Amino acid sequence: MSNIGRILAFSLFASAATATADTSLLTCTVGAVPMQVRSEGLAEPLGDVLVSCTGGTPGATVSGPLFVFLSVPVTNRLSANGVVDATLTVESSSAPPSSAGAVAILTGAGIGFYGMNVTVPASGALSFRIGNLRGAVAQQGIDNPSPITAWLGDSGNQIFFRQNVVTVGLPARGLAADNTSATISACYGSPVPATISMSGLIAAGTRSSTMRVTAGFQGAFEKRRPGADSGVRVLLRYSGFRADARLFVPDVVAGSDATRPTSAGALALAPSGGAYTPGGTGSLLLARVDGADANGAGGLPVYTPGAPGSGTVTLDSASEITLVNGAAQVVYEVLDADPLAFIRESAEIPTFVGLAPTSDYSPLGNQTVMLGPVSTVAQPTATDPIPRYVAAVPPSDCVLHGDCASFPSLAVNAPALEFTAEAGSRDQGASFAVRNGGGGALEWSVSVSYKSGAGWIGVNADTAGGNVWLTVSPKNLAPGVYEGALIIDAGPYAGSRSVPVKLTVTVPFPGPRIDSIGHAATYVTGPVAPGSLAMLKGVKLEGDAVAVSFDNLAAKLLYTSYTQINLLVPPELGSRASAQVVVTVDGVASAPVTASLTPVNPGIFPGGILNQDLSVNSGSNPAAIGSVIVVFATGLPTEAGAITAQIRGREMTALEYAGPAPTLLGVEQVNIRVPADFVPMTADVVLCGLDLSTGRKVCSPPGTTVTLRQ
C-alpha cells in the first residue's frame, strides 16, 4: 500500500472512531519507545507502540481488530498462513499480561491483530503494547534521516485514539569505515610464515591492509537478538586479485573496547591478535563465519565466546581465504558488543597479503566493506535472513574518530606527459613522484586507461619509494594522435588522480629530426645564449658521426642519444637574434629549425649548489650561515661585474667569485658568502646577469633553494 493509501485508511479509522467517541468504550493515548535503527537495514527492529486507554465500561468486551501500518514496508517473519511474528500484549489491573488471543496477520501493507478478546476491568483502564515490529528502513533512502512512524487504527469502533501516529525508529547509518573501497597495491614480495597465525603473520612481516569498521551510532554493532538469524555481520569483499597473491585474515577480531584490540599495527594500535574477556556489559567481538553464502547469510561463526567470568582469552588464529578467479569474501558476525558503550565501538580487520618476490608492481586487487547479509527483499518472507541490509558503501569514520588529519592524502607531481615519435621508432619514457600529503601510510596503485589505441603505454611503480616510470611505444601504431591516462588510486579518502598521456605518432622521416631547443640547466624550451649550454630534443639524433650547426657554425657536443643532444651554443654567434640549427647524423641532415638567441639567459643546474666543503647542499646537509656557497649555472654574461646574486630576495653584488667554472665548458661559477645575520632556513637563490646591449638585468627562474644552519 502506498503512503497515500495508508493515510486514507487511517482517515477512515479515525473518522469512525471520532464519530462514535461519545459511545466508545475506550479513549486511548498512543506513545512509543523509538529505537535508533540502521538506515541500511531491510528488516530493522523498531520500537514498541504503547496504547494507554481509560474510560471503558467495566465488564465490556473489546474484540475489534487493531491495525498498525509503518511509513516503510513491514518486513516481519511470515509464516505459510500469513501470520507474522509481531506481538500484541494486553495489560489490565485484573489479569496478567497476555496476547488476549490476538494473532498478527499480514494485512495489505500493514499488520492486523485479529481474534483479540479482552474484558474491561473495574477500573475501566486497559493498555496495549505492540512489539517486535520490523521495517525496511532502507526503502526511504539510506541517507534519509526522516523518522520511521507507525499509524494505528481500530475497525471495531471500540477505541477512540487521541492521536494515532507515533515515531518508532530514528534512522542513521549503521556502519562507517576508514577505507571503504581500497586498491591493495603491489610490492617486491611479502613473506608467509610456515604456520598461519596472527602472531606468525606479524612476526614474518607479511604485508597487510587494514579495514577499520566503526559503529555509526551507539549500539549499531548488535549481537544476535531473539527471532533473528544472526547478529549484525560485516562483509569484506575482494575482487580483481592477481593469481600470485594469497590472502589471510584473523578468525576472531577484538574491538576497540576489548581487553586488547586486534590490530596489524597499521593505525595507532600495537600489532596483536587481541584479547577478549567475557562478562560485564560487553565489548565488541567479531568472529569469522564459516559456510556463509554469497550474500553473507547462513553459516556459523568459527568461535563461541565463553561464559561471563570464564577468563581472558588470547586471540591468535588466522585462516587463508581462497581466491576464485581473483575474488573472495570473508564474513564477520558480531558476537558481543556493549549497547551502551560510552566510546564509539570500532574494530581493525587486517587482511594479510602473501606474495613471492616479483618485479610486477601492478595492483594486487581491490577490497570493499559493507553490512551483511546483503539483500534486496523489502517485504515479509518466511526464509530471507533477519537482519539483512542493502549493499551500501559506508561513509568515512575518521569524522567520528576525529582523526581525519591522520589519514593519507594523495599528491602527484607529474609533468605534462606528451610525446612525439615517428611510427616504428623507439620507446620514450618519463618519470614522476607520488607523495603522501597527509598523515599515516599511503597505499596506492597505478593502472592504465586508454581513450584511443591500446597497449602503447607501459608503467612500473615503486609504491614504497613513491616513483612511477612511464614508457610510450610507437612501434605498432599508425601515424595519428593517441590519448590515455595513468590512474593513481589511493582509495576514496586519500584520493585518486588521472594523469593524461598523449602520444603523437608521425610519418617516419628518413633522417634526424629536431623537436625543441632549450636551456640545459632549467630544461625550459626557448631562447638560448651564445656560449651557454643547451639541450636539443628530437629523434634519430645518434649515430657514428653526429654534428650540430648554428648558422653553419659548428657546436661543441657534450652528450648524444637517440632523442637528446647536449651542446655548447657557439660563442661566435655574438649578438644575433636567431640562428638556423641543423643536425647531421651519418651524412643525413635534419630539416633546419630556428633557434631564438639572447645575450643573457641564466639558469642554475639541478643540484648545482655546493657548501664551502664542496658537498652538495640539501635539507640534511645545510650550509653554515656566514660560509661560502658555490653555485653552478649557465647562460650568464662573461664581462666583469655583470653578475649579481640574491638569497631570499637580498641582492649581493660583492661576490667572492663570479666567472667561468674552471674546466667546465659553458658553465659559470658564482661563490656567494651567506650574510651573517641570516637565520636557519631554506631560501631561494637567484643569479642575475646584465645584458649590456639593453642595460636590462635578466635573472634565473625561481625555485632553486639553499638550506642554511647556524
613-643 pLDDT tens trace? 999 999 999 999 999 999 999 999 988 889 9
Cell numbers 657546436 correspond to what residue? 555
- Residue 302's pLDDT is 98
Measured at the alpha carbon of residue 313, what is the angle toward residues 309 and 316, in degrees to the nearest 5? Answer: 165
User: What percent of the chain is predicted at pLDDT more than 70?
Assistant: 94
Q: Are 601 and 554 in contact (CB under 8 A)?
A: no
pLDDT-wise least confident of 256-265, 341-350, 649-658:
341-350
Spacing of C-alpha 155 from chain mean position: 54
Three-state SS letters, 289-335: EECCCCCCCCCEECCCCCCCCCCCEECCEEEEECCECCEEEEEEEEE
Please spell the DSSP secondary structure of 360-425, one letter per residue. Answer: --S--EEEEEEEESB----S-BSSS-SS-B---PPPBSHHHHT-GGGS--EEEE---EEEEEETT-
Q: Confirm if 24 and 160 have CB atoms less than 8 A apart.
A: yes
Instruction: Please state the pTM of the whole predicted model.
Output: 0.62
Tell the burial category of 693 from Cβ atoms under 10 Å away from its Cβ (0-12, 13-18, 19+): exposed
Cβ neighbors of 195 (< 8 A, separation 6 or more) are none
- List pLDDT tens digits, range 350-373: 999 999 987 776 678 889 999 999
- What letters, b where the CB count within 10 A reaches 16 and e where it falls short, cover 138-147? bbbebeeeee
Domains and CATH numbers, the chain: 3-172 (2.60.40), 175-397 (no CATH), 410-506 (2.60.40.10), 513-596 (2.60.40.10), 603-709 (2.60.40)
Q: How far is CA 654 from CA 151, 215, 231, 675, 682, in A?
A: 90, 67, 79, 11, 22
Q: Which residue in 381, 376, 377, 378 sits closest to 106, CA to CA? A: 381
What gap in Å lies between CA 79 and CA 292, rounded to an integer? 24
Taking the alpha carbons at both ends of the chain, their separation in whole angstroms is 80
pLDDT tens for each residue of 73-95: 999 999 988 899 999 999 988 88
CA 252, CA 261: separation in Å to the nearest integer? 11
Q: Give pLDDT, residue 495.
A: 74
Model pLDDT for residues 672-692, shown as the tens digit of each residue: 999 999 999 999 999 999 998
- Cα 468 to Cα 472: distance, rounded to the nearest angstrom: 13
3-class secondary structure, 201: helix
User: Given pLDDT bands bounded at 50, 70 and 90, which one contains residue 179?
Assistant: low
Check residue 5 and report its DSSP letter: H
Which residue spans within 136-291 are E strands per DSSP?
A: 148-154, 159-161, 165-172, 175-177, 181-184, 207-215, 233-239, 245-250, 252-254, 275-276, 285-290
